[in-house]
Structure 1
Amino acid sequence: MTPAVRCDGVVQIYKTKEIEVVALRDIDLVIEEGESVAFLGPSGAGKSTLLWLLAGLLRPSAGRLWLGDTEIGKLGPRALDRLRAADIGVVLQNPARNLIPYATAVQNVTFAQRAVRRRARRPAGDLLDRVGLTPVRDKPAGRLSGGEQQRLAVAVALANRPRLLLADEPTSQLDAATGQAVIELIRDLGETSVVVTHDARVSEATGRTVTIRDGRIGAEGRGGEDFVVVGREGAVQLPPEYHELLPPGSMARVEPLPDGVVLRRAEP
């Protein structure tokens, strides 16, 4: 079966007149259909950049990226617009950017459904009820609170039954109970989803975590276990809790074992 998402050696470089900043380095990633993944890592690690690449809002500087059988980097602007309208739901970190401020909450949801057939649309009223916005369904989005706008942005992103849901910190402005309801909505509706988060509740609700540090995938979590990820050149990012044992710049011996390798600190 074709994966929902595949990244092959993706690199992203931000350029200015004076400097170049490498935001992502050699990202290899496969996400299967129906899988729910949380991107973790410190601020500035490259999580949101990877999310924007998956959404087609940026083009990779190098490498290739697929949504199903479609290579996103080869699409022109109109084809990208059609893909995002029909197949990708996006919740940006600033929820107001997802919304039409002068349109009501229910109008924002129905407007997002224009690009898909009627049978593919989720009932707007049901979505608003799931995120607790029925009492303000006829209120302009620009007059909603920050938390209400965040919930509305999630409903808008899910309105057209997207093949892929991408959400950048979707619970950052929500209290614990409301945040849990949004998490359950994203999980229960069953689409492939990728969430950038610092919220432990969100990462625990997903079946898989991907930790990004310094623009590289350094670790993954599956089934309650954490694993380091070996990069293209054999590089391994040690988790921060091991830096005291092997500080940056220290030397280590690599000793092969039948089922892997062991690193042992070596004195020069």
Structure 2
Amino acid sequence: MIELRGVGKVYAQGGREVVALQDVSLRVEPGEVFGVLGQSGAGKSTLIRCVNLLERPTSGRVRVNGKELLSMRPEELRLARQGIGMIFQHFNLFSSQTVAGNVAYPLEVAGLSKAEIRERVAELLALVGLSDKADAHPSQLSGGQKQRVGIARALAPRPRLLLSDEATSSLDPETTRAVLSLLRDINQRLGLTILLITHQMEVVKAICDSVAVLEQGRLVEQGKVVDLLARPGTRLHELCYPPFVTGESAVLRGGQRVELSLSGEHSTRPILSTLARRFDVDAHLLEGSLERVGETRVGRLLFELTGAPDAVSQALAFLRQEGLTREEAAHVG
């Protein structure tokens, strides 16, 4: 649905050049929710605006739905943009218009009849749960309701792609969860591809199938969210899971401190009790966490193995065979 190749963006600012994006290439498959994660100044907003050419890249290629946007004439680009919806952090609603009027606006621009507009607006307000707010004005709505209006308006022209520019960053946690749930429902119900940018790790874990990590205008990593979270050493794993804090506790005599990252079937297996039964070792749990990421459980454990040296070695070999172990520290003797 989206393919960026070598996209760069340079701004002229105060007589000097500011590089916002450097050689960014990524691919978003049809029907997936793809997140771009990065802190302020990473280039996220520039990137998403390059996808619909609200910002024209200085270099590179931009293909959306199989079409090269940079080579289009203005009229062709206007038509292509009808297939790309966008929602914003600060909603961008018309304060003088009602909820129904805001949703109707892109349909009026497209030249639909009044009857067609009324039908489509009613359909969209029902989809986002705001049928009872059709005659209200934005000033009468909560932040979450305003964002729902923004989503309905973005969906009005029946786009195949929805761009989300930090759409939940100004919302409280409960409202954020509700809006993300709505976006996932729309994604699954309509088969809509969603590209969202965020600085919130929780947003990525809650809704994204795939993710790209952007730092200082460069793409440092991309892949499936669950795969990256479950693999120590990835940038996403580092951002999501800070190192375990064990203080000054020493490794037990003859023991081995081990960190495991778990996902999928491994997250449901009784690993510590399996080690104890099979190898006659003790597994002292020091710290751990387990959470659901999409439809998969992902977690980490930090524990110490103690027992006869041969038994500990065999237990570690078993863990390595399973592709799980990451040894932290050892005490010999």
Pick the TM interval, shorter chain.
Answer: 0.7 to 0.9
The alpha-carbon deviation at position 147 of structure 1 amounts to 3.6
Aligned equivalent of 2:96, options 77, 102, 105: 102
Distance 1:221 1:8, change over 3 A: closer
Deviation at 1:137, TM superposition (A): 1.6
* Cα deviations by residue, 1:30-66 (Å, 9 ceiling, x for unpaired): 1111121011011110111110001220111011111
Residue 199 (structure 1) aligns with: 200
Aligned residues: 227
Relative to structure 1, the CA distance from residue 30 to residue 121 in structure 2 (aligned partners, 3 Å threshold; closer, same or farther) is farther
Whether 2:68 is the aligned partner of 1:66: answer no
Gaps of 5+ in 2: 240-333
Match of 1:34 among 25, 31, 41: 31
Larger proportion of helix: 2
For the residues of structure 1 that align with 2:50 and 2:80, how far apart are their CA atoms? 13
State which of 187, 207, 216 in structure 2 corresponds to 1:214. Answer: 216
- Name the SS of the counterpart of 2:228 in structure 1: strand
* SS of 2:167 mapped into structure 1: coil
**Match for residue 182 of structure 1 among 179, 184, 196:** 179
* Structure 1 portions without partners, runs of 5+: 228-236, 243-268
Cα separation, partners in 2 of 1:121 and 1:7, compared to 1, 3 Å: farther
Indicate which of 68, 74, 81 corresponds to 1:77.
74
Deviation at 1:15, TM superposition (A): 1.0
Give SS of 1:28's match. Answer: strand
Contact 1:41 1:213 in 2 (8 A): yes
Q: Distance in 2 between matches of 1:66 and 1:225?
A: 26
Q: Deviations over 1:58-86 (max 9, x none)?
A: 111011111122211122333322222x2
Q: Alignment identity in percent? A: 37
The amino acid across from 2:9 in the alignment is Q
Q: Name the structure, 1 or 2, with higher relative contact order (CA <8 Å, separation 6+).
A: 1
Whether the aligned pair in 2 keeps the contact of 1:5 and 1:65 (CA below 8 Å) is yes
Question: How far apart, in 2, do the equivalents of 1:176 and 1:105 lie?
Answer: 24
Which has more radius of gyration?
Answer: 2
Equivalent position amino acid for 1:180 in 2: R
In the alignment, which of 210, 226, 242 is matched to residue 224 of structure 1?
226
Whichever residue aligns with residue 195 of structure 2, its letter is V
CA distance in 2, matches of 1:57, 1:18: 23
User: Partner of 2:62: helix, strand, or coil?
Assistant: strand
In the aligned structure 2, how far is the partner of 1:121 from the partner of 1:47? 36
What is the letter of the counterpart of residue 63 of structure 1?
Answer: G
